[in-house]
Structure 1
């Protein structure tokens, strides 16, 4: 279903892959701002380039590298995830269509999320870890167009994202230069590249693997590793 109007929170397919709209900028040339659900990669497109999809019971998909199946009428579990498909928030709650929320506690059939939202059971589907038997895989609009190499990469995505998250530095991180015992702070991050206070530019992976740089602490929290 092609869209003439797109709204925040909708699930859409863009270039055959499942995305979620996080913002719409009507005056922009590419007005639809989305992230790819499987890895959170951000992208912008035009409204006529996306296809609407409404998630339902027994749909399975990749969420940040891990496979989940949407289940209705199943009790949520503390520490697990829910997808809010029929939002009806009270005035003190802050959530909208297709929000991914992590469960902090259970109150009967309702849940309290880590964002301190109270979500009623009728509003959400439980994201059960793994791919349930007879589930409907919605990662791609047309799986026949996906190469075997891409499917192989998807199977390894959780591990890749875990390592990427582990090696991602933050502004204020201080590194020790083991060659000369000097220190340098991360002062800028652009894409996959960091700039150190010394002026040196290096990618996340190169910094993580470097023999001469060792993480020391973050100046904002003062905690040593």
Structure 2
């Protein structure tokens, strides 16, 4: 589906791979800013070069070196990732279309994420790790164009750690959390998660999204 009006958060295909729109700047010739979901690589392009895709139940894709399948019927548990497909944030919440957030707690009405957002149950779908026989591949528009070796590599966290060595967060780094307008130090790092000093837990990929975070100090270790 070709796009005539590009909206932040939309899932799109660009050069056969799944991307997400993180910014639209109409003043520029290449006005659409994307990041590739498999590794968060940033792209500048224009609307005529992308194709819209609306994620649905049983779609499977790669998010930062790990495969997930969308399940609209699964009930989330703490630690699960959700994809916010029908955002309707309250005044104190900060999320938008197709945000990926980690669940911290669950109640009868909503989930609370590690970014302190309260997301109502009808606003999201759960991202279940892995895939099943009924899954529909959306990491690639046409997976037959991608060699099997490349597909296996795309799902490798170790490959990303090597590829993005200069971008990896380290304990002691300081980031500006733009949504909270707060500077915070990285106090812990796991394979895929970063804990910041102001109590926020985020996926390591989110730190690469310049709409959410900005690196203001890189700890040298000296």
TM range (shorter): 0.7 to 0.9
Residue 69 of structure 1 is matched in structure 2 by 69
- CA distance in structure 1 between the aligned counterparts of 2:115 and 2:10, rounded to whole angstroms: 21
1:30 deviates by 0.5
Residue 28 of structure 2 is matched in structure 1 by 28
Residue 184 of structure 2 is matched in structure 1 by none
User: Matched residue pairs, number?
Assistant: 178
Query: For the Cα contact (< 8 Å) 2:171–2:219, is it kept in 1?
Result: no
- CA distance in structure 2 between the aligned counterparts of 1:24 and 1:90, rounded to whole angstroms: 24
Matched, 1:133 2:133: yes
1:153 deviates by 2.1
* Cα distance, 1:45–1:153 mapped onto 2, change above 3 Å: same
Q: SS at the partner of 2:5? A: coil
Q: Write out per-residue CA displacement over residues 188-222 of structure 1, whole angstroms, 9 at most, x where no aligned residue.
A: xxxxxxxxxxxxxxxxxxxxxxxxxxxxxxx9889
TM-score (normalizing by structure 1): 0.72
Residue 81 of structure 1 is matched in structure 2 by 81
Residue 50 of structure 1 is matched in structure 2 by 50
Residue 160 of structure 1 is matched in structure 2 by 159
The CA RMSD over aligned residues, in Å, is 2.6
Q: Which moved more, 1:28-37 or 1:141-150?
A: 141-150
Q: Write out per-residue CA displacement over residues 14-56 of structure 1, whole angstroms, 9 at most, x where no aligned residue.
A: 0010000000010111000010001100001011000000001
* Cα distance, 1:143–1:222 mapped onto 2, change above 3 Å: closer
- CA distance in structure 1 between the aligned counterparts of 2:88 and 2:35, rounded to whole angstroms: 24
1:165 deviates by 5.9
1:143 deviates by 1.3
Residue 105 of structure 1 is matched in structure 2 by 105
* Cα distance, 1:80–1:24 mapped onto 2, change above 3 Å: same
Query: For the Cα contact (< 8 Å) 2:83–2:101, is it kept in 1?
Result: yes
* Cα distance, 1:92–1:13 mapped onto 2, change above 3 Å: same
- CA distance in structure 2 between the aligned counterparts of 1:22 and 1:87, rounded to whole angstroms: 15
1:172 deviates by 7.8
Query: For the Cα contact (< 8 Å) 2:9–2:20, is it kept in 1?
Result: yes
Query: For the Cα contact (< 8 Å) 2:172–2:219, is it kept in 1?
Result: no
- CA distance in structure 2 between the aligned counterparts of 1:169 and 1:35, rounded to whole angstroms: 18
Query: For the Cα contact (< 8 Å) 1:30–1:45, is it kept in 2?
Result: yes
TM-score (normalizing by structure 2): 0.73
Residue 151 of structure 2 is matched in structure 1 by 151
Larger radius of gyration: 1
